[in-house]
Amino acid sequence: MRLLIVGPLGGQISAATKIAMDHGAKVAHVDTIEQATGALRAGRGADLLMVDARLDIAALITANEAEHIVVPIVAAGVGIDPMAAAKSIRAGAREYISLPPDAELIAAVLAAVCDDERPLIAADESMKHVVTMADQIAASDASIMITGESGVGKEVLARYVHKKSKRKDKPFIAVNCAAIPESLLESELFGHEKGAFTGAIARRIGKFEEADGGTLLLDEISEMDLRLQSKLLRALQERVIDRVGGNKPVPVNIRVLATSNRDLNALVRGGEFREDLLYRLNVVNLRIPPLRERKDDLAALSQFFIDKYARSNGRPARKLSREAMAQVMSHRWPGNVRELENAMHRAVLLANGEDVGPEAIRAPDGAPVGHRDSTGDAIEAAQAAARNLVGRTVAEVEQDLILETLTHCLGNRTHAAHILGISIRTLRNKLKQYSDEGLRIPPPPTGQAA
């Protein structure tokens, strides 16, 4: 993880820096918010900013957003100061850290804000086969396509490949192609020159240059438009990129990994994805099986998440009871590891006994998790749903379906689009329409772009 410390934090900065570095962070420091935005613009990227609470955090966020730079911020101040903490949170900081720094607190904040604690757990034979193949090809520079349903852990596997590669000491940069509007994605990837378009107030280094020497992950590559796919293909073939508004090719030395939860061959047949780009990216395919096919991983991941959230919430260590484990094993987990993690987090908060019992394994709506509907119950539910459709327009039914699915997915746009069978861009357009009409839209999970 890359940490940028912003501001003159006095004698405490060295202690905070050492703690962060002890937990694997690569730390840089600037004195002012202007220098922070300049560093990010110049490609000296960061996964987290730790900012002196006395600085204008709101102005820093505004300046970054004007450059289409989104990096989470934690505020830091000397001593416990509730007023400073509240002011920082209102300005847009995720957390407030008191200095002198507490090692456990800083470690917890780094893990929570950046979600850096994501080990690759492979207890099931099907997943061990994927990891074995990843180990075999990690040392090469071959492009890899990682496929699988939403939430199976594609980015976790991509990070694993990077850490096993000869580029492990260089940057790992991830770009979610589905979360960035088409009009901004080209600049995000390739950068732009000053004056290239309205708002381009200075040269901006893109993710290709930021990842130079390391690994670039193109997450949800299937959502990239055809015009930009052509530019990406040239970058992969010739190892040079063109900044928007630039007139001189820029050489880059990166390894590209890509992920998709859609059938790219079907998209090629439908004219939505370039076949030559697919060949270039899909040198090796790593398909991650859905969690319902990885029963041994279910058990291992469940206990990992229970232990993780027990520590972070100050709850006692617990195990899943035999009945709760049977309940976990019976559920199909359509949201895969992401859904399981959320369920185990809730279970830690709801559990009261010595073990985590089945009463604590709940869906977001409070219903028990597992196969709980008999055939008769399912038929009755379907008939009731059909009766509720009478007299309603198709647009009204579609709106309810989209919003209810998004709520079920805890606001995760990618997962909801997968369940609905539509592209993430179609979903985003629908949500913008509903928001413009005054409807409340479920917010995305922490760390996910809207």
Q: For 211-254, what is each residue's pLDDT tens digit?
A: 999 999 999 999 899 999 999 999 999 999 998 888 889 999 99
Give the C-alpha separation, 416 to 335, whole Å. 9
* pTM summary value: 0.72
pLDDT for 382 beyond 70:
no
Would you kindly state where each structural domain of the chain is located, as residue ranges?
2-114, 125-287, 292-360, 380-436
- Determine the Cα–Cα distance for residues 445 and 92; give it in Å rounded to an integer: 16
Task: Categorize the per-residue pLDDT at 376 as very low, low, confident or very high, splitting at 50, 70 and 90.
Answer: very low
Domain 292-360 falls under CATH 3.40.50.2300: no
Beta-bridge mates of residue 333 = none
Q: What percent of the chain has pLDDT over 70?
A: 89
Q: What is the pLDDT of residues 269-320, one digit of tens each?
A: 999 999 999 999 999 999 999 999 999 999 999 999 999 888 877 888 899 9
The reported pLDDT for the residue numbered 157 is 96
Instruction: Name the residue with tokens 């998440």.
Output: 305
Cβ contact 154:220 at 8 Å: no
Q: How far apart are CA 346 and CA 140, in angstroms?
A: 41
Q: For tokens 């293909």, what's the residue?
A: 233
Task: Kindly report, residue by residue over 343-368, the tens digit of the pLDDT.
Answer: 999 999 888 888 999 999 887 766 77
CA 178 – CA 182 distance, rounded (Å): 9
Is the domain spanning 125-287 CATH 3.40.50.300? The answer is yes
Average pLDDT taken over every residue of the chain? 85
Give φ, ψ of 49 to 5 degrees.
Answer: -110, 130
| Residues 260, 222 contacting (CB under 8 angstroms) | yes
Between 145 and 67, the higher pLDDT residue: 145
Please state the rounded mean pLDDT for residues 427-447: 81
Query: If you write DSSP's letter for every residue of 214-248 in order, what string do you get?
Result: SEEEEETGGGS-HHHHHHHHHHHHHSEE--BT--S
The answer to whether residue 449 scores a pLDDT higher than 70 is no
Q: Which range is least confidently modeled, 1-15, 16-30, 101-115, 394-408?
A: 101-115
Q: Do domains 2-114 and 125-287 have the same CATH topology?
A: yes
Write the pLDDT tens digit of every residue in 76-87: 887 767 888 889
> How open is the CA angle 216-182-210, to the nearest 5 degrees?
25
State yes or no: pLDDT of 374 exceeds 90. Answer: no
Please compute the mean of the pLDDT values over residues 135-147 and round it to a whole number. 95
Report the pLDDT value the prediction gives residue 252, as an integer from 0 to 100: 93
Cβ burial of 319 (10 Å; 0-12, 13-18, 19+) is: middle
The span from the first CA to the last CA of the chain, in angstroms, equals 22
Residue 353: count other Cβ atoms within 10 Å of its Cβ: 10
CATH architecture for segment(s) 2-114: 3-Layer(aba) Sandwich (3.40)
Model pLDDT for residues 389-421, shown as the tens digit of each residue: 666 788 888 888 898 888 877 788 877 887 787
Tens of pLDDT, residues 167-215: 998 989 999 898 787 778 888 899 888 877 776 777 888 899 999 999 9
CATH for 380-436 is 1.10.10.60
CA distance 322 to 354: 12
Please tell me the distance from the alpha carbon of residue 228 to that of residue 242, in angstroms, as a whole number.
Answer: 12
Q: Give the C-alpha separation, 340 to 343, whole Å.
A: 5
Strands 73-78 and 26-30 turn out to be unpaired
How much is the average pLDDT of 42-46? 82
**Among the listed ranges 39-53, 106-120, 283-297, which one has the minimum average pLDDT value?**
106-120
DSSP 166-211: TTTTS-EEEEETTTS-HHHHHHHHH-B-TTSSTT--S-B--HHHHT
Mean pLDDT of 255-279: 94
Residue 371 has pLDDT above 70, yes or no: no
What confidence score (pLDDT) does residue 180 get? Answer: 81
